[in-house]
Amino acid sequence: MAERLIEVNDLKVQFATEDGLVRAVDGVNFTLDRGEVLGIVGESGSGKSVTSMTLLGLTRDKNTRFEGEVLYKGRDVLSMNEEELQQVRGNEMAMIFQDPMTSLNPVYTIGDQICEAIQVHESVDKQAATRRSVELLRQVGIPNPESRVDDYPHQFSGGMRQRAMIAMALACNPDVLIADEPTTALDVTIQAQIIELIDRLKDEFNSAVILITHDLGVVADVADEIIVMYAGRVVEQAEKRQLFYDPQMPYTWGLLGSIPRLDRPRVERLHSIKGTPPSLINLPRGCKFRPRCPHAFDKCNEEPGLENRVEDPGHLDRCWLTVEEKRALRDRTILGDTEAA
C-alpha cells in the first residue's frame, strides 16, 4: 500500500460576499496516495479550483470560512500558521496554474523565478540554484536550457511557459503536484504533450498528482481515480475505467457527451449540458443538478447522498435513478440523442 499523502475530510469552504455566503466547496472527501493521479473534473464554478487552492492554503482570507480537515501526511493544513504553510507550499505541495501567460512574472527571467522557488526552501547559493534550474528545464524538455534560462517569459511560447511552470513546481521535489487546468490555455497539440510530461515526471520525482480540468478527455489517459464535482459537491467518484464505462450520474453523462468522439456515429451537433451551473449563494433544493437534469423526477427534490450503488465498491454517485434506469438512459444521452432529453 502506497503512502497516504492527502486526506480531505468533509471540506467546506465558504466566502462571505456582499451578496451573501458563497458555498464554493460543500462537503468534499477524497484521498491521494503516493504515485497516484487524481482527476478532478467539473464546469467552472464547481469548486474544483477552490478545493485545490485550499490544499495549499491559498484561499485564506478574512472573508473565507473553512470547515472539515485537509490532512497532509496527517497534519491539518487548515490549522497551520502562515510560517508552517510557507514550508509546505512549493516544498511539499506545488501548484501549476491554468494560464502560463499570466502565471509567470513578466519582469524576472525564467531562471530567476525557478531559483527563487529553490532558494526559498533550501540554502543553496545562486550558482547552484541556477545549475539546478537548467537541469529542471532540460527535464521538462526545453531545448538549449543553458541559454533559455536567462530568457524572460515573453520570449517563451505558451507550451514552453507551461513547461517552465512545471519545472518551477518541481524545483523542490514536492510530494504532491497540483495542476489546475494546466492545458486549458494551450493548443490542442501541446495539451497531450504537457499531460504526458506531468505523468512521466510524477514517476521520476516519485510524487502524486491532482489534475484539475473541465475536460474528461484530458484525464482519460493518466488519471487513476476521477472525482466529478458539481456545485461544490462531489457528485460521482470512481476509478477511471469505471467512470468511463459505467458512469452513474447524468451530469457525468453530459460531460462525456460533450467530448468529440471518432469511434461513435457522427451526430449533427455535439451534446451540451443545457443551462448554467447554479448560483452558489442560492442553491436549488434537493439534488443540485435537478434543474438541468433531463431525467429529474419527484424524488430529486430530496438530495441524494454520495453512496455506492453499483457492483464496484469504490464507485460512488449522487443519483436517485436505479442502476438499470441509468444504464438504459445514459447511452442515449452520451450519443447526443436529443429525443432522450
Identity of the residue, 99 or 224, whose beta carbon is nearer to another protein in the bound complex? 99
Identity of the residue, 51 or 109, whose beta carbon is nearer to another protein in the bound complex? 109
Sole binder of another protein in the list 89, 161, 233, 295 (CB under 8 A): 89
For residue 308 the three cell numbers come to: 455506492
Sequence-distant (≥ 6) Cβ neighbours of residue 245 within 8 angstroms: none
Cα separation, 36 vs 206, in Å, equals 10
For residue 165 the three cell numbers come to: 511552470
Identity of the residue, 43 or 99, whose beta carbon is nearer to another protein in the bound complex? 99
Burial class (CB in 10 A: 0-12, 13-18, 19+), 144: exposed
The answer to whether 209 contacts another protein (rule: CB under 8 A) is: no
The span of 19-27, 30-38, 117-125, 283-291 binding another protein (CB under 8 A) equals 117-125
The answer to whether 205 contacts another protein (rule: CB under 8 A) is: no
Number of Cβ within a 10 Å radius of residue 87:
12
The span of 149-157, 202-210, 306-314, 322-330 binding another protein (CB under 8 A) equals 149-157
Please list the residues that pair with 233 across neighbouring strands: 230
For residue 307 the three cell numbers come to: 453512496
Please list the residues that pair with 93 across neighbouring strands: 89, 176
Sole binder of another protein in the list 154, 189, 262, 268 (CB under 8 A): 154
The distance of Cα 205 from the centroid of its chain, to the nearest Å, equals 19
Beta carbon of residue 119, minimum distance to another protein (angstroms, whole number)? 10
Beta carbon of residue 178, minimum distance to another protein (angstroms, whole number)? 9
The span of 7-15, 78-86, 195-203, 227-235 binding another protein (CB under 8 A) equals 78-86
The span of 94-102, 196-204, 249-257, 268-276 binding another protein (CB under 8 A) equals 94-102
Dihedral, CA of residue 158, residue 121, residue 8 and residue 176, to nearest 10? 50
Q: At residue 223, what is the residue type?
A: A
- Per CB under 8 A, residues contacting another protein are 56, 58, 82, 85-91, 94-95, 97, 99, 102-107, 109, 116-117, 120-121, 152, 154-155, 165, 168
